[in-house]
């Protein structure tokens, strides 16, 4: 029993080509085993190996397994790299026999990682809530006492003793509920950096220290300044812990979309090996394994149907609601659901290579990337904390020099409040939280956004160029007319034309070949095939020189066209593409093909136009066909007879007119134009999409994806702006207010407790606002 | 009062020097495995030196539960990745030209720098 595919010289799912996002529970090692091509490489995680001497035992147990060429253990990581063609199950058994537990490294899948993360978050949440209650249960009563009696002064000995007890209790709060702020602040200080912890630790620390000075040395401060701020210290710590806990909860919701995608993955697969059906974890499915999927089950990996037929619901990946019929030879994608029949398929992409895994990976990356609009906030947050510290010191000095009595108390209060109210987090969170939700939301609609920059630019698109074939139309043209010249026979002409085109992959060529096949015409042999880019093709068949292409090509070769030019024009006016066919430099026929417009293209184009976007169609077809299709689709502007290499020039032309240009194409033929456009949209049909080829990938063939993508981008950008504006205003207004700028005019000075509450809830507000984006719905189609 | 003012100004000068002007030593990515620990609001070590022109691996271990520390960004290299809690994560860097590359968390509160020499 061999579970490893070595046909291609490359191992299956445990191959060593992982990038930085693969196995995150172990290192890949950099030893000599890393690039062995002849055998598979599998990684095991060993449990229960407590001593270094276990290494030899485990290694030799594994080496004894038939097929294993080498086994090397990394004791620090508790992982073993095994090279050879042994079955994973045999390896696990061997380790168990040696007295240890082992599991496959890759078996730790995204689902598990996610569950683990949620568990860790839950633990952290509980801890924060506990800390909150400890702090508030001391701070609350203290504040109530202070408010009711107004007595927070230290004058008599009894008061000193009472406040000393409170001071010690507050220290307890600082220790139990606020320790992480202080440790964090100290560690970053040693690291020459400063963060939110620094501000909170300094703020609450100053308040507590000052209060203790008042308790121990009341004479050191003026009579009026003998206040203690223990209640503020405890409440601030409590509120900020509460803010962190609530933020953690709210953050969980921002990643719902990615959780849903990860949840699409099947956990097990039923593979057929040695004529037996086995249920195995999907991580163990290897390339070329034959997999059985019954009705109602998820497709575990990408593959090609080898037996049976069924309808598959691909809506989770493509947003396409109708189930897609699949039969032998068709491809199926991981994460989609088999609806009706039982099928056998051959695994063609497994593990990290499946379309679903790539989509998850791309969404994750995009969610973490930042649009340019967030860069200013980044620059500011890099300098923010030290600047706030400087403002706190400066404000204290100003109060001491120019403030009214008790200047010391004012100075302490203003410095503390400045430190507490400043919130770098709100600024830092503003952009990433919205991007996270926006990109996820788009993915749910079948729109994959590559990164933050694409997201931002998409919101500004003013002109959209649509490639005709395959974008506006179905891209599957059919032969509609064969008009023969002179003595020529339709069957014979079609045979020659189909033979000539059989080598070409152009959609029009394929239509002709298909038409010949439908009529049961057998094809001949082609020689001297020559493609004339953008014009047509030429080749020799049965000793005749055949030329097939557009009018330009025929004129160049001085072929007499006669009244066929008018016939061609008439066909073109019906949105058909007429092509001239010449045999031995004499016109033999016009063959017309037509490519129907996709059902929803017209409505989607209307949506774009309704949003003020200038829609332009681009095609290599002749003017008349282009005009007919454009009219049908409701497009006013079009470029016809554009050679493939000219497409990018058309994009540039619009850019020179000052437009922010979106270009939509199939992502393969249109790659240069997609790259040069401000935003390139690759349109995929089904799950077979080249998601690396464009800024934004539409997984569904429909042009509604364009309008959806632009709508999501606009909503996200609006959300980011709200967040950034809120965070900027909050800090720009809050810090000076806390420093006491309003005091000389209005006699207003901010209470540190209120500053603490404001700070705690400012970042929560940002996350909550970002979460609002989850409610976004693209306009009904 | 004069003393207090001088002390205050000195404190401001100290903040500027400590957080902005002072350049701490860089840890070198050498033979022994270097692991960057993400804990208590910092990367440690936060400044690392790697050789120019060859791909290298940097390992991270996150012990910090705060959600901000989860994401690692190296914007200039378009790297953004998630650091699992208490698990070693290897980030692979391509061969780099000499220069300074910042890495940080989503909110830039955790900051570090890779110097390529």
Query: Which residues is A47 bridged to in the sheet?
Result: A101
Give A326 to chain B, closest Cα distance, Å: 36
**What is the strand order of the sheet A41-47 is part of?**
A68-74, A79-84, A41-47, A101-104
Residue with tokens 């791309």: A362
Residue A319 confidence (pLDDT): 67
For residue B109, which residues of chain A lie inside 8 Å, CB to CB?
195-196, 381, 424-425, 428
Length of chain A: 781
Is B41 in Cβ contact with A188 (below 8 Å)?
yes
- Where does A341-477 show beta strands of DSSP type E? 343-349, 447-449, 463-467
A192 → closest Cβ in B9, B19, B80: B19
Give B73 to chain A, closest Cα distance, Å: 8
Pairing mode of beta strands B47-50, B79-82: unpaired
> Chain A interface, mutation test: which of B35, B60, B67, most A Cβ atoms within 10 Å?
B67
Residue A52 confidence (pLDDT): 67
Give A195 to chain B, closest Cα distance, Å: 5
**SS in 3 state form for A656-710?**
HCCCCEEEEECCCCCHHHHHHCCEEEEECCCCCCCCCCCCEEECCCCCHHHHHHH
Is B108 in Cβ contact with A428 (below 8 Å)?
yes
Is B16 in Cβ contact with A393 (below 8 Å)?
no
User: Over the stretch B32-77, which tens digit does the pLDDT of each residue have?
Assistant: 567 888 988 888 888 888 888 888 888 898 988 887 788 888 888 8
Q: Which of A313, A467, A621, A666 is catalytic?
A: A467
CA–CA gap between residue A416 and residue A738 (Å, rounded): 9
Is B106 in Cβ contact with A429 (below 8 Å)?
yes
User: Over the stretch A55-113, which tens digit does the pLDDT of each residue have?
Assistant: 788 888 888 888 888 887 776 666 787 877 777 778 888 888 888 877 766 544 667 77
Question: What are the CA-CA distances from residue A244 to residues A59, A201, A237, A540 (Å)?
Answer: 46, 15, 11, 75
CA–CA gap between residue A257 and residue A335 (Å, rounded): 15
B19, closest residue in chain A (CA to CA): A192
**A726: how many CB neighbours lie within 10 A of its CB?**
17
Angle between helices A623-633 and A564-573 (to 10 degrees): 20
Is A432 in Cβ contact with B88 (below 8 Å)?
no
Question: What are the CA-CA distances from residue A372 to residues A158, A375, A376, A452, B86 (Å)?
Answer: 60, 5, 8, 7, 32
- Give the residue among A330, A338, A448, A516 at the shortest CA–CA distance from A713: A448
A467 given a catalytic annotation: yes
A21 → closest Cβ in B81, B110, B111: B81
For residue B63, which residues of chain A lie inside 8 Å, CB to CB?
none
Residue A134 confidence (pLDDT): 95
Is B109 in Cβ contact with A26 (below 8 Å)?
no
> Chain B interface, mutation test: which of A191, A391, A422, A451, most B Cβ atoms within 10 Å?
A191
Is A30 in Cβ contact with B57 (below 8 Å)?
yes
> Chain B interface, mutation test: which of A192, A196, A423, most B Cβ atoms within 10 Å?
A192
A415, closest residue in chain B (CA to CA): B8
Give B4 to chain A, closest Cα distance, Å: 8
CB pairs below 8 Å between A and B: how many?
142
Q: Which of residues 20-79 of B touch A (CB under 8 A)?
A: 20, 22, 24, 33, 39-44, 46, 57, 59, 65-68, 70-71, 73, 75, 78-79
DSSP state of A153: B
For residue A27, which residues of chain B lie inside 8 Å, CB to CB?
57, 59, 88, 90
| CA end-to-end distance (rounded Å), chain A | 52
pTM across the whole model: 0.75
A370, closest residue in chain B (CA to CA): B75
**B94: how many CB neighbours lie within 10 A of its CB?**
9
A24, closest residue in chain B (CA to CA): B89
B23, closest residue in chain A (CA to CA): A192
CA–CA gap between residue A6 and residue A41 (Å, rounded): 11
Residue B30 confidence (pLDDT): 64
CA–CA gap between residue A209 and residue A416 (Å, rounded): 11
- Give the residue among A126, A382, A375 at the shortest CA–CA distance from A244: A126
User: Over the stretch A204-232, which tens digit does the pLDDT of each residue have?
Assistant: 999 999 999 999 988 877 777 788 889 88
Give B117 to chain A, closest Cα distance, Å: 21
Q: Which two tokens stand for residue A257?
A: 């979309």
> Chain A interface, mutation test: which of B22, B80, B102, B113, most A Cβ atoms within 10 Å?
B80
B25, closest residue in chain A (CA to CA): A191
**A577: how many CB neighbours lie within 10 A of its CB?**
28
DSSP reduced 3-state for B67: helix
For residue A184, which residues of chain B lie inside 8 Å, CB to CB?
40-42
Give A75 to chain B, closest Cα distance, Å: 13
Question: What are the CA-CA distances from residue A483 to residues A480, A491, B51 (Å)?
Answer: 10, 11, 69
Give A215 to chain B, closest Cα distance, Å: 22
Compute, in degrees rounded to 10, the torsion defined by CA atoms A235, A239, A242, A244: -130
Residue A605 confidence (pLDDT): 95
B109, closest residue in chain A (CA to CA): A195
Is A251 in Cβ contact with B78 (below 8 Å)?
no
Residue A590 confidence (pLDDT): 92
Q: Which two tokens stand for residue A151?
A: 């007595």
> Chain B interface, mutation test: which of A30, A120, A193, most B Cβ atoms within 10 Å?
A193
Q: Which two tokens stand for residue A347?
A: 């695994």
For residue B56, which residues of chain A lie inside 8 Å, CB to CB?
none
B37, closest residue in chain A (CA to CA): A187
Q: Which of residues 85-114 of B touch A (CB under 8 A)?
A: 85, 87-92, 106-111
Is A368 in Cβ contact with B73 (below 8 Å)?
yes
DSSP state of A471: I
Is A401 in Cβ contact with B5 (below 8 Å)?
yes
**pLDDT < 50 stretches in chain A:** 1-39, 107-108, 686-687, 689, 781
Residue A663 confidence (pLDDT): 93
Query: Which residues are CB-neighbours of A178 under 8 A, at least 6 positions away?
Result: A131, A135, A200, A201, A204, A237, A241
For residue A127, which residues of chain B lie inside 8 Å, CB to CB?
65
Is A370 in Cβ contact with B75 (below 8 Å)?
yes
Angle between helices A230-254 and A110-149 (to 10 degrees): 150
Length of chain B: 117
DSSP reduced 3-state for A360: helix
Give B17 to chain A, closest Cα distance, Å: 9
pLDDT higher than threshold 80 for residue B27 = no
Is A20 in Cβ contact with B90 (below 8 Å)?
yes
Is the link from the previous residue into A404 a cis peptide, with omega within 30 of 0? no
Main-chain dihedrals φ then ψ at residue A588, nearest 5 degrees: -110, -35
Is A192 in Cβ contact with B18 (below 8 Å)?
yes
For residue A191, which residues of chain B lie inside 8 Å, CB to CB?
24, 42-44, 46
Is A195 in Cβ contact with B41 (below 8 Å)?
yes
CA–CA gap between residue A730 and residue A544 (Å, rounded): 80
A193 → closest Cβ in B39, B66, B111: B111
Is B88 in Cβ contact with A386 (below 8 Å)?
no
* Number of helices (H), then strands (E), in chain B: 1, 10
Is A432 in Cβ contact with B106 (below 8 Å)?
yes
CA–CA gap between residue A638 and residue A469 (Å, rounded): 13
């Amino acid at each position: 029993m061999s579970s490893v595919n070595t046909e291609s010289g490359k191992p299956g799912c445990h191959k060593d080509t992982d990038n930085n996002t693969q196995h995150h529970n172990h290192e890949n090692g950099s030893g000599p085993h890393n690039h062995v091509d002849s055998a598979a490489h599998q990684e095991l995680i060993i449990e229960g190996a407590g001593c270094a001497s276990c290494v030899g035992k485990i290694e030799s147990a594994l080496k004894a397994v038939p097929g294993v060429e080498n086994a090397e253990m990394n004791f620090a990581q508790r992982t073993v790299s095994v090279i050879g063609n042994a079955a994973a199950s045999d390896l696990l058994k061997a380790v168990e026999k040696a007295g240890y537990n082992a599991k496959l490294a890759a078996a730790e899948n995204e689902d598990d990682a996610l569950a683990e993360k949620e568990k860790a978050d839950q633990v952290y949440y509980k801890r924060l809530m506990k800390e909150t209650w400890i702090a508030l249960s001391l701070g609350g009563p203290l504040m109530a006492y202070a408010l009711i009696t107004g007595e927070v002064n230290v004058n008599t000995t009894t008061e000193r003793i009472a406040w000393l007890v409170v001071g010690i209790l507050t220290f307890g709060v600082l220790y139990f509920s606020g320790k992480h702020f202080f440790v964090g602040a100290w560690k970053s200080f040693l690291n020459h950096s400063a963060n939110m912890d620094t501000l909170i630790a300094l703020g609450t620390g100053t308040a507590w220290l000052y209060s203790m000075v008042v308790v121990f040395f009341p004479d050191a401060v003026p009579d009026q300044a003998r206040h203690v701020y223990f209640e503020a210290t405890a409440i601030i710590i409590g509120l900020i812990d509460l803010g962190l806990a609530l933020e953690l909860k709210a953050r969980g919701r921002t990643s719902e979309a990615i959780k849903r995608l990860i949840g699409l993955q099947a956990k097990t697969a039923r593979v057929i090996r040695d004529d037996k059906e086995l249920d195995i974890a999907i991580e163990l499915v290897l390339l070329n394994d034959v997999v059985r999927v019954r009705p109602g089950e998820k497709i575990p990996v990408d593959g090609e149907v080898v037996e049976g037929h069924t309808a598959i619901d691909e809506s989770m990946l493509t947003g396409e609601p109708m189930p897609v019929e699949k039969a032998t030879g068709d491809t199926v994608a991981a994460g989609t659901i088999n609806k009706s029949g039982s099928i056998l398929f051959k695994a063609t992409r497994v593990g990290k290579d499946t379309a679903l895994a790539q989509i998850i990976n791309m969404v994750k990356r995009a969610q973490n990337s930042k649009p340019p609009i967030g860069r200013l906030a980044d620059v500011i947050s890099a300098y923010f904390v030290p600047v706030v510290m400087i403002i706190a010191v400066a404000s204290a000095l100003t109060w001491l020099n120019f403030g009214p009595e008790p200047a010391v108390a004012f100075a302490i209060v203003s410095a503390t409040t400045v430190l507490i109210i400043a919130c770098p987090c709100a600024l830092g969170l503003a952009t990433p939280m919205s991007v996270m939700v926006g990109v996820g939301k788009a993915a749910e609609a079948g729109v994959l956004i590559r990164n933050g920059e694409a997201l931002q630019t998409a919101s500004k698109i003013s002109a959209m160029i649509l490639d005709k074939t395959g974008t506006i139309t179905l891209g599957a043209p059919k032969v509609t007319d064969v008009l023969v010249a002179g003595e020529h026979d339709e069957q014979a002409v079609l045979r020659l034309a189909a033979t000539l085109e059989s080598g070409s992959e152009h959609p029009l060529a394929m239509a002709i070949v298909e038409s010949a096949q439908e009529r049961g015409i057998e094809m001949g042999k082609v020689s001297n095939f020559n493609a004339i880019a953008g014009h047509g093709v030429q080749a020799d068949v049965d000793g005749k020189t055949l030329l097939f292409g557009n009018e330009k090509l025929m004129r160049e070769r001085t072929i007499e066209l006669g009244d066929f030019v008018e016939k061609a024009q008439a066909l073109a006016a019906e949105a058909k593409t007429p092509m001239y066919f010449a045999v031995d430099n004499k016109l033999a026929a016009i063959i017309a093909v037509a490519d129907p417009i996709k059902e929803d293209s017209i409505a989607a184009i209307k949506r774009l136009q309704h949003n003020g976007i200038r829609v332009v169609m681009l095609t290599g077809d002749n003017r008349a066909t282009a005009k007919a299709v454009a009219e049908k689709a409701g497009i006013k502007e079009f470029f016809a007879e554009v050679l493939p290499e000219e497409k990018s020039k058309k994009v540039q032309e619009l850019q020179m007119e000052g437009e922010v240009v979106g270009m939509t194409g199939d992502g393969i033929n249109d790659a240069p134009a997609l790259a040069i456009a401000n935003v390139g949209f690759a349109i995929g049909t089904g799950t077979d999409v080249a998601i690396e080829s464009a800024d934004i990938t539409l997984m569904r063939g429909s042009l509604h994806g364009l309008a959806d993508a632009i709508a999501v981008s606009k909503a996200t950008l609006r959300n980011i702006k709200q967040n950034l504006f809120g965070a900027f205003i909050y800090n720009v207004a809050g810090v000076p207010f806390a420093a006491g700028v309003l005091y000389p005019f209005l006699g207003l000075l901010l209470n540190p407790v209120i500053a603490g509450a404001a700070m705690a809830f400012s970042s929560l507000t940002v996350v909550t606002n970002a979460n609002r984006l989850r409610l976004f719905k693209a306009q009904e189609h | 009062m004069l003393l207090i003012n001088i002390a205050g100004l000195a404190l401001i000068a100290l903040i500027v020097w400590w957080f902005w002007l002072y350049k701490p030593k860089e840890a070198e990515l050498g033979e022994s495995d270097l692991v960057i620990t993400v804990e208590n609001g910092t990367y440690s070590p936060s400044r690392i030196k790697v050789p120019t022109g060859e791909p290298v691996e940097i390992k991270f271990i996150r012990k910090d539960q705060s959600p901000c520390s989860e994401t690692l960004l190296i914007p200039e290299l378009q790297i953004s990745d998630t650091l699992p809690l208490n698990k070693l994560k290897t980030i692979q860097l391509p061969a780099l030209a000499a220069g300074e590359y910042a890495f940080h968390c989503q909110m830039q509160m955790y900051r570090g720098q890779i110097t390529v020499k």
